[in-house]
Amino acid sequence: MIRARLTPEQVAKFIKESRNADKPRKIADGNNLYLVTRRGHGFWVLQFRDGDTIRSKGLGSAADVTPRAARQAREAFMVARRDGIQLRPKKARVRRTDVTFGDVVLGFKDRRDLDDLPGYIATHSHDWKGGADGLEAKAYRVTLTDNEFARLPLHTIDANAVSKALDPWKGEHRRTAEKIRGRIERVLDYATAAELRSGDNPATIKLQRHLGLKAADKHVHYAALPADDVPDLMGELDDLGSATCKALQFTILTAARSGEVIGATWGEINLVDKIWTVSADRMKEGKEHTVPLTAEAIAVLGKRGAPNAPLFANKRGKPLHDHAMQERLKTLRTGCTVHGFRSVASGFWAKREVSKELRDLCLAHSVGGKTFQAYNRDELIDLRRPIMEMWAEFATGKALAPLLLAPPIAATIEN
C-alpha cells in the first residue's frame, strides 16, 4: 500500500520556496516517488531499479498532477512493468524538429509533450528586475519573439542564421546587436541543456566576430542638444503642452533617465518635502534613488492623481510607451536624444565647478568616495537641491546661458 506523505498544501509550499533556488530539490513522498522543485516549478519523478540501473520516470508537472494522481500514476506504471511491459528508453528531445526558437523563449503552454518544461523567461526572470514583467523580460519578448528568427526550428539555426538576425543592428547600433547576440546565446544554451538541440552554440561572440559583428564602443555616444538651446526647446514643449511634452520637460529638469520617468507614479511624489523617490526596480544601479524636486519640475506635474496613477499618462490613462519622448523630440530637434540631456546637465554643472561626486549623485551614478557615502539621505538631498535649482533656472530661461565657445553636438556619458 502506498503511504501518502505530501499534501497539496505542502507541494504548493515547497514549490513557492524554490523560486530562487538554482539547484533542484528532491522531496520524498514515499515508495520511490519524489517531488522535484526548482525556480518556482515542481514535477513528479518515480525512481525504480531496472536490473543494475536506477532509472527515473517523469509523471508530470505538479501544477497539473495532484499528489494523489501522481501516486496513482506510479502504481499504474509499476503494475504495467510487473505485467511484462518493457520500459523503453526515453527519446531525447533533440529529435524533435518542430520546436522553434520562439517556443524556447516563451514556453510550451500549448504543447502537452513539453508542458513540464518552462520557457527561458519563466525560468530566469526571477533573477531580473521586475521579474517576468520587468524591462529585461520585455527586451527578450520584443527582440526574440514574433519575428522571422523566432519562427526558425531549433535544428535549422546555425551561425549564419544568427548573423542574419543581427544584421539590422550591426551598423550604428552595435551595442544593441551585442545585447541581442548575448540573449540568443543564452537561450540556445538553455535549449541544449533541456535536450531540445545539440551541438555547439552558433551565437558565441568568437564565432559571430568572424561573421562581421564588430565590438561595441565602451562608451555610448548620445547626441545632445547644445546647452544654450535648451531654454528654447523647453518653451516649445510648454506651448505644445501634451503629456509627452510634459514628461520630456520633467526628464530634462530632473536629469533622469527616460525609463525612470515613464514608469513613475504619483505615489512616488512627495509634494510636502519636494522629493521624487524612484523605486529600485527602475534604477540602473538597482537601488532606490531620491530626486529633489524644483519649483519648475513640480509646475510641470499639474493636478495630483491617485497613488498608482502614472505621473504622465496617455489619453487612455495608461503610461506613455517607452519611446514616446524620443519620438516627440525627433520632430522638434532632429538628431538629438533624450538621454543626451543628462550629459548637457552634467556639463552645465561642471562649468560651475560642481564637484564630480555631486554631479554623479544628481545623475544617480555610483559614487565611491567615502566622504559622500558617509552622508545620510537627507544631507545628500540638501546638497543636491541647490544644484538642481541652478539647472532648472537655466533650462527654463531664468538664468544666463553658459559660455560655450564650441557647444558639443555629441556628448559621451556612461549610461
- Is 80 exceeded by the pLDDT of residue 112? no
Instruction: Report pLDDT for 362.
Output: 84
- What is the spatial distance between Cα 24 and Cα 17, in angstroms, rounded to a whole number? 11
β 410-413/220-223 pair status: antiparallel
Closest CA to 54 of 32, 76, 78, 26: 32
Domain co-membership, 239 together with 371: yes
pLDDT confidence bin for 299, thresholds 50/70/90: very high
Of 116-125, 194-203, 249-258, give the lowest mean pLDDT range.
Answer: 116-125
Domain co-membership, 239 together with 357: yes
Domain co-membership, 143 together with 18: no
Model pLDDT for residues 171-221, shown as the tens digit of each residue: 767 778 888 989 999 999 888 887 788 888 998 888 877 777 766 555 444
In a domain, residue 215? The reply is: no
- 66 in helix, strand or coil? coil
Which whole number is the average pLDDT over 371-394?
Answer: 74
Model pLDDT for residues 47-90, shown as the tens digit of each residue: 887 777 777 777 878 877 888 888 888 888 787 777 554 444 44
Domain co-membership, 201 together with 228: no
In a domain, residue 104? The reply is: yes
Cell numbers placing 47: 525512481
Q: Give percent above pLDDT 90 in the chain.
A: 23
Of 63, 90, 117, which marks where a domain is finished? 90
**8 Å CB contact between 42 and 14:** yes
Which whole number is the average pLDDT over 311-319?
Answer: 88
- Is 70 exceeded by the pLDDT of residue 370? no
- What is the spatial distance between Cα 160 and Cα 176, in angstroms, rounded to a whole number? 18
Instruction: Report pLDDT for 176.
Output: 84
In a domain, residue 228? The reply is: yes
Residue that is written with C-alpha cell 549610461 in the block = 415
Domain co-membership, 66 together with 39: yes
Which whole number is the average pLDDT over 105-114?
Answer: 68
- What is the spatial distance between Cα 389 and Cα 382, in angstroms, rounded to a whole number? 11
Domain co-membership, 354 together with 254: yes
Which whole number is the average pLDDT over 246-256?
Answer: 93
Closest CA to 340 of 223, 227, 231: 223
Of 66, 90, 114, which marks where a domain is finished? 90
pLDDT confidence bin for 353, thresholds 50/70/90: confident
Q: Amino acid letter at 272?
A: V
Domain enclosing residue 152, as ranges = 95-210
Of 105-114, 118-127, 263-272, 382-391, give the lowest mean pLDDT range.
Answer: 105-114
Of 10-14, 39-43, 112-116, 266-270, give the lowest mean pLDDT range.
Answer: 112-116
Instruction: Report pLDDT for 400.
Output: 56
Domain co-membership, 178 together with 323: no
Instruction: Report pLDDT for 90.
Output: 44
- Is 90 exceeded by the pLDDT of residue 415? no
Of 90, 111, 142, which marks where a domain is finished? 90
Instruction: Report pLDDT for 87.
Output: 44
- What is the spatial distance between Cα 43 and Cα 60, in angstroms, rounded to a whole number? 6
In a domain, residue 1? The reply is: no
Domain co-membership, 293 together with 385: yes
**8 Å CB contact between 358 and 384:** yes
In a domain, residue 41? The reply is: yes
- The count of domains in the chain is 3
Instruction: Report pLDDT for 360.
Output: 83
Domain co-membership, 366 together with 248: yes
- Is 50 exceeded by the pLDDT of residue 227? yes
Which whole number is the average pLDDT over 228-249?
Answer: 92
- What is the spatial distance between Cα 58 and Cα 80, in angstroms, rounded to a whole number? 15
Domain co-membership, 198 together with 238: no
Of 66-75, 105-114, 224-233, 240-249, give the lowest mean pLDDT range.
Answer: 105-114
Domain co-membership, 349 together with 228: yes
- Is 50 exceeded by the pLDDT of residue 95? no
- Is 60 exceeded by the pLDDT of residue 270? yes
Instruction: Report pLDDT for 406.
Output: 33
Domain co-membership, 346 together with 363: yes
Max avg pLDDT among 82-96, 201-215, 293-307, 351-365 = 293-307
State the CATH number of the domain containing residue 63. Answer: 3.30.160.390
- What is the spatial distance between Cα 193 and Cα 196, in angstroms, rounded to a whole number? 8
State the CATH number of the domain containing residue 145. Answer: 1.10.150
In a domain, residue 124? The reply is: yes
In a domain, residue 217? The reply is: no
Which whole number is the average pLDDT over 278-291?
Answer: 80
Rounded mean pLDDT of the chain? 80
Characterize 78-98 residue by residue with b for buried, 16 or more Cβ atoms within 10 angstroms of its Cβ, and e for exposed.
Answer: beeeeeeeeeeeeeebbebee
In a domain, residue 128? The reply is: yes
State the CATH number of the domain containing residue 241. Answer: 1.10.443.10
